[in-house]
Amino acid sequence: MNELQRTEYLTALGLTSYMPRFRLPLAPEPLQAPLPPPADERPEATPAAVAVMAAVAGVAADAATTPGEPHAQPDTRPEQVRPEPSADMGRVLGSITAETRVAPAASQVTPVAPPQRQVAPFVLSCWRLGEEVLAVDSREPGSALPVESLFGNIVRALGWHQLASERNKLRWPLAESPFAAAAGADDARDTCSSWVEAACARKPVKTIWLMGQQAQEFCAPAPMTEAVADWQGVRLVSMPSLTELLQEPARKREVWNLLRKLYPEQTRR
């Protein structure tokens, strides 16, 4: 008995065949079960076998007829003519069909959103100087650079060192969890820009400094195509981060020229 016949027997008996997908513990080495021969190699039926099969089919047909009773004769009675429906009946049925017909539902294609670009964790340092400026700087943890001293020098050069100051820090993502999904660029942009908008709503400022790539990409409350833009009466300014200025001192002249253009009175001396 080959594997095909064994499966057919079990199916006829109402038994479900089970075959594990891997070798079970303490199970013997699996063997290839014999398979039925291909269709082109199967022996053809002989004339004697065909005659036997025809005789068996004839006996089965005779057994289906009740003994002692003649075979049923075909019904030769004339077919009754059915009356055709009237025109009024056709109109009534047509109106009912039109009222109850359900319009086919239009197939709706659900757009699939493209996957978000993943964003590496980053840290932002934020300073508020009175009502003048809110500075958001892109930091590189572990760089051990004197960014605080450089920002203090910029503040003293503008004459704002006596203003009330606040310092905060924003980490992205807000909560790191190995079980949470990876943070995307859209999520980072929504969170950081909302944080900046809330900070300006709590204490309005005249200017927002976006220093560095992360601050400019994720914290800008409005799209920026130039170095200076306007957002609801607040001036948005893009400039290099403090880390970039310390790593490339030649860019300090670029920042100073921008500050002289934006604050001519403070940088006049």
Which DSSP string corresponds to 241-265? -HHHHHH-GGGHHHHHHHHHHH-TT
- Backbone Cα Rg of the chain: 43
For 136, residues 6+ apart whose C-beta sits below 8 A from its C-beta are 124, 125, 126, 196, 208, 209, 210, 211, 215, 219
- Tens of pLDDT, residue by residue over 109-159, are 666 556 667 777 888 989 999 999 999 999 877 777 899 999 999 999 999
Closest alpha carbon to 161 in 129, 134, 128: 129
Which amino acid is present at 21?
A: R
pLDDT under 50: residue ranges of the chain: 49, 52, 56, 59-60, 66, 71
| Average pLDDT of the chain to the nearest whole number | 76
pTM over the 0.75 mark: no
Contact criterion met (CB below 8 Å) for 197 and 125? no
Does an H or E element contain 30, and which? none
How far is it, in rounded angstroms, from Cα 269 to Cα 265?
Answer: 8
Which amino acid is present at 37?
A: P
